Amino acid sequence: MELPTVNLKTILLVHWLLTTWGCIAFEGPYPWANFTILALGVWAVAQRDSIDAISLFLGGLAATIFLDIVHISIFYQRTGFSDTERFGAGMAILSLLLKPLSCCFVYHMYRERGGELLLRIGFLGPSQERSDYQTIDSPEAPADPFGGSESRGHAPQGY
């Protein structure tokens, strides 16, 4: 399935607007966490070739999903909210609901910038990981890679 193209600036604008409105109802750590991550997004826009900027923005978006859930669940009041505060809480919840979709789009941009897969499933099959370093071992693989020194004809040293 091919994701539609979404501009990073659009994602930032939408989340900035929703976070600003969410600050009507929630204060303290909610604006700090979200505006810090949006600043990382501005960095990702400014440096289009930086994998670090987009990966930090992606990781921050994923972290604020968890942080927003905790913050909203602790500080949301069922009663006592004015209409304005209910609107702010609704916008914070809408921002939270849009963040997983934004993560998908940002992850697609991360891959376009040359980032590697974040999830490695090496335990399911042979590893395809390649290293920039050359091994110093002999090119021949040992017959029993899990065998100890006893299986290679070496006697253990006593102390």
Q: Is there a domain that residue 121 lies in?
A: no
Q: Is there a domain that residue 32 lies in?
A: yes
Q: Is there a domain that residue 105 lies in?
A: yes
Q: Is there a domain that residue 71 lies in?
A: yes
Q: Which domain holds residue 71?
A: 8-113
19: which residues sit within 8 A by CB, 6+ positions away? Answer: 31, 34, 35, 38, 92, 95
Q: Is there a domain that residue 122 lies in?
A: no
Q: Are 124 and 30 in contact (CB under 8 A)?
A: no
pTM above 0.85, yes or no: no
pLDDT digits 0-9 by tens, 8-48: 999 999 999 999 999 998 888 999 999 999 999 999 999 98
pLDDT computed for residue 127 by the predictor: 44
User: Domain count of the chain?
Assistant: 1
